[in-house]
A = this chain, B = another copy of it.
Amino acid sequence: MERRKFIQHAGLAGILATGIAPAVRAESPAIRWRLASSFPKTLDTIYGAAETFSAKVKEMSGGKFEISVHPGGELMPPFGVVDGVQQGTVECAHTAPYYFFGKDETFAMDCAIPFGLNSRQMTAWCYDGNGFSLFREFYKNYNIVNFPMGNTGAQMGGWYRNDIKTLEDIKGLKMRIGGFGGKVLERIGGVPQNIPGGEIYQALEKGTIDATEWVGPYDDQKLGFQKVVKNYMYPAWWEGGPQLVLYVNSKAFDGLSAENKAIIQAASSYAHVEMQAKYDARNP
């Protein structure tokens, strides 16, 4: 645009407004979003990925794009985040897709299925293989734009009130188990429960459940399961490398500039690597 035309079009007021824009922006960010996590704030690994993501977006945008992070239950129930993003109640969410296999079993594929991919295979499928574009297509049904954002690596088999020695011990076992693995547990006589991370301890203490799995020693200790039950088993055949995902409301995403779209992608990527690094360092 030529300078003369620009002046004609904008007028002096417009030029002044542009001129002082940086000073105004420094005080109030141009874009404010909310992120609903499915996880409790106590877990710096899994909840922390959303905080890392948010911090990187803020840094890269020079403070012009701020995303506040809210733990499970603060804005909506931990398992309400797909509905929340779909309806636009929040602009984005961070969750483990397999929680939603009741809506559609495809969700589980974007996280972990029994005897499925390990974390490097998941990342390879999503960054270089066909996985990512398949999920983009699937999530359109939910007004969601997805980004891989974290992986716990291989998990432990969980905490059991009583020792498990034979298949008989599974009969009637009420176990909190993540995702599609519950379907397999059911087939061999167990009673799977889909309970958010922040509510497991209480359920185990009350006796609502007989067993639970979460992630591995670093997180499990923070959630305090060892105070209630004593049998810790390995491995979790139901999740070789569960992937966490950032869900963004598609209308909110489409409204972003190309720069901010790229910033969302790279910030989620940074959080993706960092979460796995934390697990690998702390659950060696």
Determine the chain B residues whose CB is within 8 A of the CB of A257 once the complex forms: 62
The answer to whether A76 has its CB under 8 Å from any CB of chain B is no
A6 touches B18 (CB 8 A): no
Binds B, one of A84-92, A108-116, A182-190, A267-275: A267-275
| Chain A interface helix/strand/loop/mixed | helix
Copy number of this protein in the oligomer? 2
The answer to whether A250 has its CB under 8 Å from any CB of chain B is no
Q: Which listed residue, B1, B62, B124, B261, touches A23 by the CB 8 Å rule? A: B1
A280 touches B62 (CB 8 A): no
Determine the chain B residues whose CB is within 8 A of the CB of A120 once the complex forms: 119-120, 153, 276, 280
The answer to whether A129 has its CB under 8 Å from any CB of chain B is yes
- From A272, which residue of chain B is reached at the shortest CB distance? B273
Chain A 221-264 against B: per-residue CB contact (8 Å), 1 yes, 0 no?
A: 00000000000000000000000000000000000011101110
CA distance A16 to B1 in the complex (A): 13
B19 touches A1 (CB 8 A): no
Q: How near does chain B come to A8, taking the closest CB pair, in angstroms?
A: 13
Determine the chain B residues whose CB is within 8 A of the CB of A277 once the complex forms: 123-124, 126-128
CA distance A138 to B28 in the complex (A): 40
Determine the chain B residues whose CB is within 8 A of the CB of A16 once the complex forms: 3, 7, 15
B6 touches A62 (CB 8 A): no
Listed residue (A153, A261, A266, A278) with the most chain B CB atoms within 10 angstroms of its CB: A266
Q: Give residues of chain A (12-49) contacting chain B, Cβ–Cβ below 8 Å.
A: 14-16, 18-20, 23
Q: How near does chain B come to A85, taking the closest CB pair, in angstroms?
A: 23
Q: Provided the pairs A15-B19, A120-B276, A125-B281 are in contact, do residues A262 and B60 lie with their beta carbons within 8 angstroms?
A: yes
Listed residue (A56, A269, A274, A276) with the most chain B CB atoms within 10 angstroms of its CB: A269
B259 touches A60 (CB 8 A): yes
A274 touches B128 (CB 8 A): yes
Task: List 26 contacting pairs A-B, 8 Å CB cutoff, sorted by A.
Answer: A1-B20, A3-B16, A6-B19, A6-B20, A14-B19, A15-B16, A56-B266, A59-B262, A60-B60, A60-B263, A62-B257, A62-B259, A120-B120, A120-B276, A121-B280, A124-B278, A127-B277, A128-B277, A265-B270, A266-B266, A266-B270, A269-B269, A269-B270, A270-B270, A272-B273, A273-B273
Contacts beyond the supplied A60-B262, A120-B153: 7 A-B pairs with Cβ under 8 Å? A6-B20, A60-B60, A62-B257, A126-B277, A127-B273, A128-B280, A269-B270
